[in-house]
Amino acid sequence: MTAPTLWAILATALLSALLFGGGLGLNLVIVAVPAILAAAFAARAADRRIRPWTLVWAVGGLALLAVPALRDAGWPTFLAIVSALVLTALALHGGRGWPSVLFAPVGLIDSVGSGTTWAWRGLRERADGSRGRWGPVVRTVGVAVALLVVFGALFAGADAAFADLLGSLMPDVSLEQAPWRLSLFLLGLFGAISVARTAAAPLRWDRMVIRPGRARARLEWALPLIVLNLLFAAFNAVQLAVLFGGYDKVLSETGLTYAEYARQGFWQLLMATLLTLAVIGLALRWAPRADARDRTLVRAVLGILCVLTLVVVASALRRMDLYVDAYGLTRLRISVAAMEIWLGLVIVLIMAAGIFGARLLPRALAVSAAASMLAFGLASPDAIVAERNLERFNRLGKIDVPYLAGLSADAVPALDRLPEPQRTCALRDIEARLGDEDDTPWYATSWSQARARALLAERGVDRFSVDCGEPSREEEYDPYAKGAPHSAPHSAPYDAPYDAP
């Protein structure tokens, strides 16, 4: 292990201890920089070259870390961080096949143990070879720190503005936080060691051989899929006739109300899409492949299945759109709709692989997943939920204020446009949460939080004089329930429960 690698690992650990703990924001990017340098130094020492796909994964991982820096909602942040870790594993391991894409994150975990031994051995070797140079380095750093502390304290006592500037720039570290800071230090230390060790000696997942299944006869392979295609075609014909035939068509064909039909079956269609991907994977494993006619048969049967599956995806999204139109948008609904859109993209990529070849399919699916996570986070789902509910309120006069009050600071610009008293009732809890985080340092504050604080400070929120009278969810009335009098869509005085799909 080289000295630059050791110093980069130590810098990652120190920055983790100092910057984490109060929230997530730019601190993720700041900590990621020395970790990336540790990997680069270790890879160069091991004579590993940087390849184009390595840069693709690395840039993608850094881009995903922009989500917590820009958005306040915790769930897109979590998804972005997990996706960034996966892309980091792909950048470190390399490889192009399915084993590398699927098992690369396992390599980071495996490197924690071996990397610790590797780092300790490298540290001892560096110490034995440079005993005479450690003394001057330690003395120089000690003198610099002492001067900064002494003169920084004097200047802070002499000028309150300078003291505030130092307070905002420097992390708040106290003895009470020592155990927590130590845990963060160890997390950064072992994380950086794992990254550097993987860069120096990655696991070669592409050496794992996945043998294709025994090829089946044409009739044995194709007949079940042809029957499945006919079932999909029949279902899609009904969907196209009913879902796009209007409200009267829904009633005449099903006997259900508009909202009942919209709510019915979305999860089943989502599961059907997932199972179709499994069927395609298994069919390819046992597909006949003796000659060109077999390959043509495989492409035709599976291509038709993919096209029909895209219609199922469109049907599921149409149902969700109708249901949102009737009951409003929630976090759960926007999440499952985004997942359905990505599954549709996966189907399109599989179709492209059938035409142009499947060599790039594993990487293309990984890129599509990461890009979808990035787009989902940057689009600010909480803001979209607030915007859609604001539009619905302006159109129908219906809104679930207690639910919207639980959204993050991302939703503040939309909720601020509500009339009173709905505005106050939706914003006062968010303002209280932001007020509790006023002492959060700049590196742990997202852009959405800063924008929301500025907006609320400008217009203010009356926490005391407005009686919001939050209704009990159990007492809500659903006019679309069976046995309720029939009414036209959107005539309900209350919204349906928000934990429904």
Mean of the per-residue pLDDT values of the chain: 81
Q: Out of 66-70, 161-165, 261-265, 494-498, pick the least confident.
A: 494-498
Give mean pLDDT, residues 390-408.
90
Q: Out of 117-131, 152-166, 224-238, 249-263, pick the least confident.
A: 249-263
Q: Are 34 and 196 in contact (CB under 8 A)?
A: no
Residues 226 and 303: their CA atoms lie apart, in Å, by 11
- Burial of 409-440, coded b for 16+ CB within 10 Å and e otherwise, reads bbbbbbbbebeeebbbbbbbbbbebbeeeeeb
| pLDDT exceeds cutoff 80 at 499 | no
The pLDDT assigned to 64 comes to 95
pLDDT band at 355 (very low <50, low <70, confident <90, very high): confident
> What token pair was written down for 464?
């005391």
pLDDT band at 178 (very low <50, low <70, confident <90, very high): confident
Residues 110 and 227: their CA atoms lie apart, in Å, by 45
The count of residues in the chain is 501
Output 233 or 128, whichever has higher pLDDT. Answer: 233
Candidate ranges 156-170, 323-337, 466-480; pick with highest mean pLDDT: 323-337
Give mean pLDDT, residues 257-262.
62
Residues 82 and 65: their CA atoms lie apart, in Å, by 10
Residues 342 and 368: their CA atoms lie apart, in Å, by 8
| pLDDT exceeds cutoff 70 at 360 | yes
pLDDT band at 112 (very low <50, low <70, confident <90, very high): confident
| pLDDT exceeds cutoff 60 at 481 | no
Taking the domains of the chain in order of start, what are their residue ranges?
3-51+94-207, 218-378, 381-470
Q: Out of 24-38, 315-329, 416-430, pick the least confident.
A: 315-329
Give mean pLDDT, residues 157-164.
72
Q: What is the pLDDT of residues 182-205, one digit of tens each?
A: 899 999 999 999 999 999 989 888
Q: Out of 179-193, 354-368, 431-445, pick the least confident.
A: 431-445
pLDDT band at 484 (very low <50, low <70, confident <90, very high): very low
- Burial of 187-196, coded b for 16+ CB within 10 Å and e otherwise, reads ebbbbbbbbb
| pLDDT exceeds cutoff 60 at 380 | yes
Q: Is 89 helix (H, G, I), strand (E, B) or coil?
A: helix
> What token pair was written down for 428?
């006062």
Q: Output the CA–CA distances (angstroms, integers) from residue 346 to 290, 343, 356, 367, in the order listed.
A: 27, 5, 15, 11
CB-side neighbour CA atoms (13 Å) of 192: 31
Q: Out of 126-130, 326-330, 337-341, 484-488, pick the least confident.
A: 484-488
pLDDT band at 127 (very low <50, low <70, confident <90, very high): low
Give mean pLDDT, residues 317-329.
83
In which residue are the tokens 């905002």 written? 168
**Percent of the chain residues past pLDDT 70, beyond the cut:** 80
Give mean pLDDT, residues 424-448.
85
Long-range contacts of the stretch 384-387 (C-beta < 8 A, 24+): 384/329, 384/334, 385/329, 385/330, 385/331, 385/334, 385/411, 386/410, 386/411, 386/414, 386/415, 387/414
| pLDDT exceeds cutoff 90 at 79 | yes
Q: Are 262 and 485 in contact (CB under 8 A)?
A: no
- Burial of 218-254, coded b for 16+ CB within 10 Å and e otherwise, reads beebbeebeebbeebeebbeebeebbeeeeeebeeee
Q: Which amino acid is at 431?
A: E
| pLDDT exceeds cutoff 60 at 129 | no
Give mean pLDDT, residues 353-373.
91
